[in-house]
Structure 1
């Protein structure tokens, strides 16, 4: 995170409206510190929602990778043959 995006909590308290405007325009999050320690990240709601969607997709990919490693998958040729069989009239 850029040093300009790191602010003490006192700055957050006294410049809330300005911070909201800046974050809304730039899309960049702001790290808030308290007693020199990182405490809170303030970010635009849309950025947060996008990040949550990305995390959900990464979790799905990780679950799929674990399934593959555990041998819980089907051969693509078998799967496609099943689909073809379902499409044919009986």
Structure 2
């Protein structure tokens, strides 16, 4: 993804906030905001942000699972299911 087309100065954000929010929601591409020529912030629509957070959460779960597998803290699925069934009775 190239961000170069979506780089705007903070003055543009101040003058066009409502339009920018509509564009973000429609395009679902982030916008880089600059101040004095330097990138200072990234704006994105809420749906994209939430999707990114869900993706990060899943990646964290996978990483934790990999750590458990490497540390040999795993059990066969049948064993876990059987134990859960006996607990639910």
The interval holding the TM-score normalised by the smaller chain is 0.7 to 0.9
User: How big is the alpha-carbon RMSD for the aligned residues of Structure 1 and Structure 2?
Assistant: 1.9
- 1:1-90 matches, within 5 Å, as 1-74=2-75, 76=76, 79-80=77-78, 83=81
Residue deviations 1:17-73 (CA, integer Å, cap 9, x gap): 110111111111101111222111111111111111111111000101111111111
- Could you tell me which runs of 5 or more consecutive residues in structure 1 were left unpaired when the two chains were aligned: none
User: TM-score with structure 2 length normalisation?
Assistant: 0.81
Q: How many Å separate the matches in 2 of 1:38 and 1:8?
A: 9
Higher Cα Rg: structure 1 or 2? 1
- Could you tell me which runs of 5 or more consecutive residues in structure 2 were left unpaired when the two chains were aligned: none
**Deviating 4+ runs (over 3 angstroms):** 81-87
